[in-house]
Chain A
């Protein structure tokens, strides 16, 4: 059963890097460009993990996280925050909101995989599977 991961970031570049990093692993990736879209996908797909940017238009990551935690059906989904802001207060604020972990931008792809692997059981695709086949990406 592939792991279901939702990447919420207004930067297509970051979503692309997330998809590229996860390509060798047995997972299905959904994408959303802001918190509002991300919440809709989360409700619909019940992902196993959410990778969530902080600063986004329409609805930021902190607001989306708060909404997730208010919803009994979604509050247990582990969330890893991706943020360009590494300040002490920001990290403390994020931690208090109940995230599973956080990753400071800039990051290396192996750091992302390490964080994801701590939150969910990532498994490499079987050797027999075509290596070039990308993980399915479903854009909201």
Chain B
């Protein structure tokens, strides 16, 4: 089995993370539901985390995993605040698209 003897190198992981980041970017640019835009931002953060972990193993440096830990903490805080803002805005409105939020006035 030639497929089982192949070992994925670090470049494969990095290219996968680049594709994941690109998909997340496309979602942020195209989708109009703010919740789905948040999910796409999570996709981009996960792509960055994946490349950090790959480089941490490749360069034999644990600090790459340390910064992934901090990215996760900051992402959790960001999601909490962002969803709080979305709930506060959507409570007074009926629609859920980001196009309706062009004016910051409540």
Say whether A associates with B.
no
Residues in chain B within 8 A of chain A (CB atoms): none
Residues in chain A within 8 A of chain B (CB atoms): none
